[in-house]
Structures are given as structure tokens and as C-alpha cells.
Structure 1
Amino acid sequence: MLSEQSVPVVRATLPAVGAAIGDITTLFYRKLFDAHPELLRDLFNRGNQAGGEQQRALAGSIAAFAGLLLERPEARPDVLLSRIAHKHASLGVTSDQYEVVHRHLFAAIAEVLGDAVTPEVVAAWDEVYWLMANALVAIETRLYQRAGVAEGAVWRRMEIVERRRQSTDAVSFVLRPADGRPVTPFRPGQYVGVRCELPDGARQIRQYSLSAAPGRPDRRITVKRVQGDGRPDGEVSSWLHAHAREGDVLTVSEPFGDLALERGDSPLLLASAGIGVTPMLSVLDHLATTGDSRPVTVVHADRSPADHAHRQEHLDLVRALPGARLHLWYEEPGDQAPHASAGRADLTGLDLPAGLTAYLCGPLPFMRAVRGDLLRRSVPAEAVHYEVFGPDLWLARL
């Protein structure tokens, strides 16, 4: 909760800060990486930096957090904070790094806003920052404790024991601990970070959903090759496709992620598009393995059957669940999918049970459309969960 003296200052300056937040975050990252080039090399996603996605995500999260402090002073935006904290934990972020961020962020604010940054303004926004940072540190501390590791010590070596092509541009890897120790438990829908050393010496990290159920002695991830269009945002997926083979060892984080199947017996909607199918496979596999009989509506959209990663496995898992129904859309169905609909997913004609809990994963336009359909059909916003592969660019809207 903001202090009484900071509330009017933040309220008065939020429009100006919000209008300049893009310039502030761009300058912040420039200052941060000039002072700490190792952070860009070994922690931050260089592709997202080059494309501006990370800057927009940071700007959105700061503006959203400040707005929520003003609009709902008694509440803490746990959904926003949890999603960020899980991503941070999968990167091994430590509490001392918030001091570094604070220093360069406030230097950027002062430079962009100039004389408008009075001591009162600095004090008020300093309070906003540390309310957010301390809340994130507290959540991340609990995540590290739950994983049974020291702060930031999330990494372990895992051997590739199987590599298999799952679509025209997706490959799955089955990973087993190289030290022989058992894997730690995870919840269906969670992901791991994978750290790869690239030819220029950078150790870049990307998150990949675990695409099989918990309870096995190994883990499986599925990696879609991302085309970079001259930018470096496909460098890890391209490296894994080109170089990772059975017998190789990867550096992999403990599992994190808040798109995790909740306990209960409410009907489920699992809606995915493209490589967003991967966390849904873990959920379906878990439901089949545990004999869960609740109603499950499965929606998937893709470019074509050949692009549908784990297509046959996806179909088989739905068939294994007596209460599950699958609805497929392909932009180019061809002859391989006579029962699929052509075009993009549309939930308006589906019979959805009351009281359902929805899980969404896929490109942002797909998730916005599906979420909008669900809200129009009176599904409560708190019953709609989602996962974004990359920076969350719609935090401020949820």
C-alpha cells in the first residue's frame, strides 16, 4: 500500500510517467547494459531486447502496478507479480539485482523527465518501485524454497536421452539428470529455463514448457524453431535444432510457471494455438495418467496438420479421456484433417459447461480473441489463466 503522502504525487505524475515510460525503459536498458554487459550476454533475452518487446513489457508492468496501487490500494496484484516472479526464478534472478535495476531505472527517469523529477516525485516513485521489487523478492524466495534450492541456484545438468521431430519446425527432447539424482516434482503446465552457450560465448536462456506429465524419471521439452528475420530472437531455438543431439548435456532450470493445473473437479477448457499446445499436452497427459474424468473441452488452432506439434499424441490423449472433446481449426486443413474446421478458432458455437476453468496458451492475438469470447459468455476473468511465450505485453490489460 502506498503511503498517504505518495498517493497524490503518484496520481498526479502517473500520466507524465506513463507517457514517457517507453523512453524511460529504453534508456534504462541502455544504461544497465553499458554498466553490466554480462546481463545482456548471459541473462536478458537479446532477441526481445532487439525487437523492443522487453522494454514494452517492463513499461507495461510498472504502469500497471502503479495504477493498481491507486485504484485498489488494499489489494496486491498477485497475478501480475506471480507471473513475473516465476519468469525471474527460471532465470535465477537474485535479490541483489533489484538494487542494480533501481539505480539505472531512476537515473533514466531523471534524465527523461528532467526538472519535473523533484525530491517528492523521486520519493513517491521510489516507494512504488520498492513495493513492487520487495513483493517480487518475497515471491521468488518462496519459489526457491519450494524448489529446495538457494536463491538463484536453479541450474542442473541434464542429458538428452531422446530427440524426436514433432512437426515441420518443432523437435522434442527428453532430458534426464546427468548426476543421477531424481528430478524435482512439477505441476502440469509449468516450464523450465534452458541455458545454451552460443558461438559468441553468450549464455542465453529461454523457457520451454514441459510437454509431458509429472511423475516420470525424466523431463520432456518441445522446441519450435523461431525464424529471426535478421534479429537474434531465434538464436537458442536454432542452436538447439542444429546442434543438440542424444548424449549431449544441457543446463536446465528447476520447473516454474503459474499456468499450472489447479486441484479440483471443475470442467476445463484447454485452448492452444501453434506451439502453445505444449503445456496442454502436460495437462492432458496428467489427466489421463491419474484417471481424471471431469469434462474437458480441448481447442487447438494451427497453420496445418503438418505444423501441429505432437498432433497424433494430442489426439490420442483426448481419446484417452472419456470426458474430453476436441475442436480443431487449421488455416490449411488439407486432406489429413477432414474433421477439422478451416480458418481460425472460434468459440462462439461451442457448448461450454458452467463453472469451467480455462487455460490459454498461444500467440497474443489468439489468446485475446479466446479470452474475449469467454468473457462475453460470462466466464469470470479470474477463471481464465494464460501463458505467454516471451515478455508479457498485455499485463496492463488483465
Structure 2
Amino acid sequence: MLSAQSAPVVRATLPVVGASLTTITELFYRRLFEERPELLRHLFNRTNQATGAQREALAGSVAAFATLLVEKPDVRPDAVLARIAHKHVSLGITADEYPLVGRHLLGAVAEVLGDAVTPEVGAAWDEVYWLMANALIAIEARLYAEAGVADGDVWRRMEIAERRQESADAVSLVLRRTDGRPTVAFRPGQYVSVRVELPDGAHQIRQYSLSTAPDHKTWRITVKRERTTDGTVPDGEVSSWLHAHAEVGDILDVSLPAGDLVLPEADTPLFLASAGIGITPMLSMLDHLALTSSARPVTVVHADRSPLDHVHRDEQADLVSRLTSADLHLWYENDAHRAPAAQAFAGRATLEHLTPAPGTTAYLCGPLPFMRTVRGELLEKGLHPSAIHYEVFGPDLWLTK
């Protein structure tokens, strides 16, 4: 909660700070990387920096947090920050890195806004930053403790046990520990980070959902090769490297599982909606439900470009068929008539013929336009906003649009 002296200052200056946040975060990252260039090479996603997606996501998260502080001072920020905290844990971020970030972020605020940042304004926004930072530090410390590791000690060496080409642009990698011990437990829907060394010597990290149910022997990730169409940025660095070089027997640096989009233990109805490679966390949930002989009502929606692009198509259909109260609805933008499933529709996904049961919990994963559309339709059909959860691959831009 903001102090009594800072709350009115933040409320009064939030419009001007919010309007300048993208400029502020751009300057912040430039100054940060000038002082610590190794952070860009070995920690931050270079592609997201090149496109501006990361600074846009940072601006959105700061604005959302500050708005919450002044509009809902009695609401704990944990729900807003949990997604960021899980991402930080998957990267091995520790508390001692927050002062560096704070110094450059608040310095950028002062430089961009100039004389508008009086000592009173500077102190108020310093308080906003440290409320956010300390909340993240506390959540991350709890997550490290729950995993039974020291803060930041998340990286493990994993061997590729199997490689399978799922489609022209997607490959599955089955991972096992190099010491023969059981893999770390995870919750259906979680992801891991994978760190690779690229030809220029930089170490880049990306997150991939675990695409099967928790298993004591192996993990599986499914990697889509990211391709750009306009040539302004290169194809995905890590996904391209994995597609070209990752082979059975190779060793990868992989983090402990993280992520807050997880399947709850209950018997209430589920609505699992995905598009493209967003199918992966839903597969983990479906696999877990099938293995536990769950009788929960489950509505599964998936949208893709075509049946050939639909990664794990047969596996998804098989898992749904093994559940006693589940149904599958597919949409394909192209070649829907070639789909083996009778319930495949042509065009973009719509929920007009679906009615979620009372008490349904919905999980969404895929491109932001898809998730916004599905979320809007679910709200129109009566689902409460708190019952709709989502996962994005890359910077979370949901709050910035």
C-alpha cells in the first residue's frame, strides 16, 4: 500500500508518467545495457528488445501496478505480479539485481520527464518501484523455497532422449536428467526455460511449455520454429538453433518448471482453448486428466492454420476420447475439409455454438488476438473474469493494448 504522502502524488502524476512509459522503458533498457552489456547477450531476449515488445510489456506492467495502487489500495498485488515472478524464477533472477534495475528505471523517469520530477514526485515513484520490486522478491523467494533450491539455482543439465518432427515447423524434444535420477515434479500447464549458446557466443533463453502430464522419468517440450515475414528482425534465434542442431544425446541447460497457468485440483468444468503452438500446456492438462481418469466436464477448443499445421493433432484427439465427459471443437483457416475430425469448422474460432457450464474455469493459450476474442465471448456467455486464465509465450502484452 502506498504511503499517505505518496498516494496523491502518484494519482496526480500517473497520466503523464503513463503516457511516457514506453519512452522511459526504452531509455531504461539502453542505459541498463550500456552498463551491463552481458545482460542483453546472456539473459534478456534480444529479439524482443529489437522489436520493442519487452519495453512495451514493462511499461504495461508498471502502469497496471501503479494504477492498482491508487485505485484499489486494499488489493494485494500478488495476482498481478505472479506471472512476472514465475518468469523471473525460470530465469534465475535474484533479489540483488533489483537495485540495478531500480536505479536505471527511476533515472529514466527523471530524464524523460525533466523538471516535472520534483523531489516529491521522485520519492513517490521510487516508492511505487520498491513496492513492486519487494512484492516480486517475496513471491520469488517463496517459489525458490517451494522448489527446495537456493535463490537463482534453477539450471540443470538435461539430455535429449528423443526427437520427433511434429510438423514442418514444430519439433518435440523429450528430456531426461543426465544422472539418471527422476525429473522434478511440475504442475500441468507449467513451462521450463531452455538456454543455448549461439554461434556469436551469446547465451539466449526461451520458455517452452511442458507438453505432457508430469512424469518421473522425462519431460517433453514442443518447439515451434519462429519465422518472421517482414525481414525486420531475424527468425527466432533459439527455436531456429534447436531445430537445426538439437539431436538425441545432446545436453541442454534447462530450468526448473515455473508458471502460474496450472490445472486446479477440483471437479468443476473446464474450458481449454488454444491456437497454434498454444496447444502445448493444454496437452499437459489433458494428459493429466486422462491418466487420472478424471470425470470432469471438459470443453476443448483449438484453432490452427490447417490440419497439417495442427501440432499433436492425433494426440489431442486421443486424449479427449479417453475422457468420459470431454468434447473437441476444431477450426482451421485453410483446408478444413481435409481434417479427419467431423467436428472441424472452416475459418476462425468462434464460441457461438458453445455454452460453458456454470462454474467453468477457462484456460487460454495462443496469439493475443485469439485469446482476446475468446475471452470476450466467454464473458458475454456469463463467465466471471476471475474464472478466465491465460498464458502467453514471450512478453505479456495483454495489458498494453
TM-score category (smaller protein): over 0.9
2:359 is aligned with 1:355: yes
User: Which residue of the partner structure matches residue 283 of structure 1?
Assistant: 285
4+ residue runs of structure 1 moved beyond 3 angstroms?
none
User: Which residue of the partner structure matches residue 61 of structure 2?
Assistant: 61
Alignment of 1:337-352 (within 5 A): 337=340, 339=342, 340-352=344-356
Q: Distance in 2 between matches of 1:353 and 1:66?
A: 35
User: Which residue of the partner structure matches residue 378 of structure 1?
Assistant: 382
User: Which residue of the partner structure matches residue 306 of structure 2?
Assistant: 304
**Equivalent residue in structure 2 for 1:391, among 371, 384, 395:** 395
Alignment of 1:41-60 (within 5 A): 41-60=41-60
What is the identity, as a one-letter code, of the residue corresponding to 2:382?
A: S
What is the identity, as a one-letter code, of the residue corresponding to 1:253?
A: S
Once the 2 structures are TM-superposed, how far is the Cα of residue 179 of structure 1 from its aligned partner? 2.2
Q: Which moved more, 1:181-190 or 1:225-234?
A: 225-234
- Contact 2:225–2:236 (CA<8 Å) still a contact in 1? yes
User: Which residue of the partner structure matches residue 130 of structure 1?
Assistant: 130
User: Which residue of the partner structure matches residue 372 of structure 2?
Assistant: 368
Q: Distance in 2 between matches of 1:37 and 1:384?
A: 39
Q: Distance in 2 between matches of 1:361 and 1:233?
A: 22
Alignment of 1:96-135 (within 5 A): 96-135=96-135
User: Which residue of the partner structure matches residue 317 of structure 2?
Assistant: 315
- Contact 1:304–1:334 (CA<8 Å) still a contact in 2? no
User: Which residue of the partner structure matches residue 34 of structure 2?
Assistant: 34
What is the identity, as a one-letter code, of the residue corresponding to 1:58?
A: L
- Kindly tell me: are residues 232 and 134 of structure 1, through their superposed partners in 2, closer, same or farther at Cα, counting changes over 3 Å? farther
- Contact 2:56–2:400 (CA<8 Å) still a contact in 1? no
| Count of matched residue pairs | 397
User: Which residue of the partner structure matches residue 158 of structure 2?
Assistant: 158
Once the 2 structures are TM-superposed, how far is the Cα of residue 338 of structure 1 from its aligned partner? 5.7
- Contact 2:57–2:400 (CA<8 Å) still a contact in 1? no
- Contact 1:305–1:336 (CA<8 Å) still a contact in 2? yes
Summarize deviations over 1:24-55 as a string: whole Å, max 9, x none.
00000000000000110011000100000000
Q: Distance in 1 between matches of 2:341 and 2:282?
A: 23
Q: Distance in 1 between matches of 2:136 and 2:80?
A: 10
Q: TM-score, normalised by structure 1?
A: 0.98
Question: Which runs of no fewer than 5 residues in structure 1 stay unpaired?
Answer: none
Once the 2 structures are TM-superposed, how far is the Cα of residue 77 of structure 1 from its aligned partner? 2.8
Alignment of 1:221-240 (within 5 A): 221-228=221-228, 229-232=231-234, 234-240=236-242
- Contact 2:196–2:203 (CA<8 Å) still a contact in 1? yes
What is the identity, as a one-letter code, of the residue corresponding to 1:310?
A: H
User: Which residue of the partner structure matches residue 335 of structure 1?
Assistant: 338
Q: Distance in 1 between matches of 2:53 and 2:337?
A: 35
SS of the counterpart of 2:167?
A: coil
- Contact 2:355–2:381 (CA<8 Å) still a contact in 1? no
Q: Distance in 2 between matches of 1:168 and 1:303?
A: 13
SS of the counterpart of 1:96?
A: helix
Q: Distance in 1 between matches of 2:341 and 2:299?
A: 20
Alignment of 1:193-272 (within 5 A): 193-228=193-228, 229-232=231-234, 234-272=236-274
Q: Which moved more, 1:343-352 or 1:308-317?
A: 343-352
Once the 2 structures are TM-superposed, how far is the Cα of residue 233 of structure 1 from its aligned partner? 5.4
Summarize deviations over 1:267-323 as a string: whole Å, max 9, x none.
000000000000000000000001101100000000001100011101100001111
Summarize deviations over 1:138-176 as a string: whole Å, max 9, x none.
000111111111111100000000000112210000000
Q: Distance in 1 between matches of 2:74 and 2:157?
A: 43
- Contact 2:304–2:310 (CA<8 Å) still a contact in 1? yes
SS of the counterpart of 2:254?
A: strand
Once the 2 structures are TM-superposed, how far is the Cα of residue 212 of structure 1 from its aligned partner? 0.4
- Kindly tell me: are residues 154 and 143 of structure 1, through their superposed partners in 2, closer, same or farther at Cα, counting changes over 3 Å? same
SS of the counterpart of 1:299?
A: strand
- Contact 1:48–1:233 (CA<8 Å) still a contact in 2? no
- Kindly tell me: are residues 186 and 17 of structure 1, through their superposed partners in 2, closer, same or farther at Cα, counting changes over 3 Å? same
What is the identity, as a one-letter code, of the residue corresponding to 1:157?
A: R
Question: Which runs of no fewer than 5 residues in structure 2 stay unpaired?
Answer: none
Q: Distance in 2 between matches of 1:55 and 1:87?
A: 16
- Contact 1:293–1:322 (CA<8 Å) still a contact in 2? yes
Q: Distance in 2 between matches of 1:230 and 1:337?
A: 38
Q: Distance in 2 between matches of 1:281 and 1:71?
A: 38
Once the 2 structures are TM-superposed, how far is the Cα of residue 336 of structure 1 from its aligned partner? 3.1
- Contact 1:46–1:232 (CA<8 Å) still a contact in 2? no
User: Which residue of the partner structure matches residue 191 of structure 2?
Assistant: 191
User: Which residue of the partner structure matches residue 72 of structure 1?
Assistant: 72
Q: Which moved more, 1:228-237 or 1:249-258?
A: 228-237
Q: Please tell me the root mean square deviation across aligned C-alpha atoms, in Å.
A: 1.1
Q: Distance in 2 between matches of 1:181 and 1:97?
A: 32
Summarize deviations over 1:38-78 as a string: whole Å, max 9, x none.
11001100010000000000000000000000110011232
User: Which residue of the partner structure matches residue 147 of structure 2?
Assistant: 147
Q: Distance in 2 between matches of 1:334 and 1:323?
A: 26
- Contact 1:50–1:232 (CA<8 Å) still a contact in 2? no
